[in-house]
Amino acid sequence: MSGLLHSFFGPRVPVEELNAHRARYAMPTILLSIARILLIASIFLPYWHMELEAPQYPKGLFLTAYVNTLTGDVKEIDGLNHYIGMRPLHEAAHYEKTIAVWAVLAMFLLVEGAMFVHSRWAVLLAIPTIVFPVGFLVDLKYWMTEFGQNLDPSAPLSASVKPFTPTILGEGGIGQFRTYSDMGLGLYMAFAAAGVTLIAFYFHRRAYKPLFDARRSRVA
């Protein structure tokens, strides 16, 4: 069992080595700490914004998505979407919104756990954090496509609007409606957390791989 534990947790740093190269071994921990702070803070900030311009609303309508909820002019946008046969926005990503906060908290704990693992298994613990922001955009794209490509044929304006895929980033639109979408600060922070995590593992490898190789050489 001790061999399996060592294989997972990796080599421990001798005291004299740690005293001689404190910055080398502190850097992965510092960077992973920054990543998890960015990740947990992103929960409280918007992940996505959309502005919709329509003739009925000259000042525009605004929608903001957090990891677990939608805010803004949801009712008004649903009213417009009803005419073209699009389902209400609250029906999208119900499961994802239910687990989102808990999932981010789990990623926070996994990154914290990676700080104590000095082997390649640390990367496995942090993979969810690395792929999470891209996954958010992929999921958003999926639901936009699902809603836009499956319009209700009995809607009042169904004959004048063909199925379409709304744009999730940048400018888009259909008919007289124009949309402008961009990432929110929360999603930028999630991407930053992913980037900092990747950088942390460069320093992680530089710090702990020599110790692992040295131990393997002694055992051999």
DSSP 166: -
Task: Please give the Cα distance from 159 to 48 (Å, whole number).
Answer: 31
The pLDDT value given to residue 140: 96
Angle ∠(99,89,77) on CA atoms, nearest 5? 145
Low-confidence ranges of the chain (pLDDT < 50): 1
The answer to whether residue 74 sits within a structural domain is yes
The answer to whether residue 139 sits within a structural domain is yes
Domain that holds residue 132: 38-209
Backbone φ and ψ for 21, nearest 5 degrees, come out as -135, 55
The answer to whether residue 23 sits within a structural domain is no
The answer to whether residue 113 sits within a structural domain is yes
Per-residue pLDDT tens for 70-129?
999 999 999 999 988 999 999 999 999 999 999 999 999 999 999 999 888 899 999 999
The answer to whether residue 69 sits within a structural domain is yes
The answer to whether residue 192 sits within a structural domain is yes
The pLDDT value given to residue 72: 97
pTM to 2 decimal places = 0.91
The answer to whether residue 101 sits within a structural domain is yes
The pLDDT value given to residue 70: 96
Backbone φ and ψ for 131, nearest 5 degrees, come out as -95, -10
The pLDDT value given to residue 12: 79
Q: Please state the three-class secondary structure of 27-90 as a single string.
A: HHHHHHHHHHHHHHHHCCCCCEEEEEEECCEEEEEEEEECCCCEEECHHHHHHHHHHHCCCCHH
| Token pair listed for 105 | 């908290």
Task: Please give the Cα distance from 115 to 96 (Å, whole number).
Answer: 27
The pLDDT value given to residue 134: 98
The answer to whether residue 17 sits within a structural domain is no
- Count of the separate structural domains present in the chain: 1
